[in-house]
Chain A
Amino acid sequence: EAQVTQNPRYLITVTGKKLTVTCSQNMNHEYMSWYRQDPGLGLRQIYYSMNVEVTDKGDVPEGYKVSRKEKRNFPLILESPSPNQTSLYFCASSLSRAGRTEAFFGQGTRLTVV
């Protein structure tokens, strides 16, 4: 089954404690991206990757890092989380660059930073 898998689904952490949210896709997609969703703001792109070792900033990259060492994986790293990073996070993948083809989304990671 074609899918994008994120882990964990729920996470509560404390300010400053480094964390990683994993994302893996099994569709051999080149394009992967991370979004955060906040009430009234829709989805905003954090980072995206066009292929292995190629990543770039989206609209709200501050406080986040990503890496793309393998085609299937695109982890999101919060080196020093802060309360304003409390949000619902989604990983997505698509066959080609953003918007050209349909995007497949993970089930989301609800992060709370206290």
Chain B
Amino acid sequence: SQQGEEDPQALSIQEGENATMNCSYKTSINNLQWYRQNSGRGLVHLILIRSNEREKHSGRLRVTLDTSKKSSSLLITASRAADTASYFCATDNYGQNFVFGPGTRLSVLP
């Protein structure tokens, strides 16, 4: 069962611009995580935000969580070519499954 849905599916921006990706989910969650995947490689954890948190920062990343709207956003500021990757949100809905969305493909053009 797919819980998270990222939006947009694909995003192209110029280096230096900000990139915003959104994630919507359907059921109550314990926390939400964002991961990055470089082409065909393993996923790398970026940030975890708990259901009682509204915003979290890590370097150039800013994640927000709105549990009333069942949505989260990932903002990457001052993007670099190396940020080109797919980004996934994953939700912990109190079960044993860790459910990923289909991802947003970000292309940062030099």
Residues of A whose CB lies within 8 Å of any CB of B are 4, 33, 35, 40-45, 48, 50, 56, 58-59, 88, 90, 92, 97-108, 110
Contact = CB atoms under 8 A, between A and B. Distances in A.
Contacts of A98: 92, 95-98
A-B pairs with lowest CB-CB distance, top 3: A99-B92, A98-B98, A105-B42
B41 A107 contact: yes
A12 B4 CA distance: 32
A103 B36 CA distance: 12
Contact of B97 (A58, A107, A110): A58
Contact of A108 (B35, B42, B99, B100): B42
A40 B2 CA distance: 12
B102 A40 contact: yes
Q: Which of B31, B43, B98 has the most CB of A within 10 A?
A: B98
B96 A110 contact: no
Interface of B: 1-2, 30-31, 33, 35, 40-45, 48, 88, 90-93, 95-103
A42 B45 contact: no
B40 A110 contact: yes
Contacts of B30: 99-100
Contacts of A100: 30-31, 92
A99 B42 contact: no
B45 A104 contact: yes
Nearest to B30: A99
Nearest to A3: B42
Contacts of A40: 102
Contacts of A59: 1, 97
A43 B31 contact: no
Contacts of B95: 98
A100 B44 CA distance: 16
A98 to B, nearest CB: 4
A108 B88 contact: no
B40 A99 contact: no
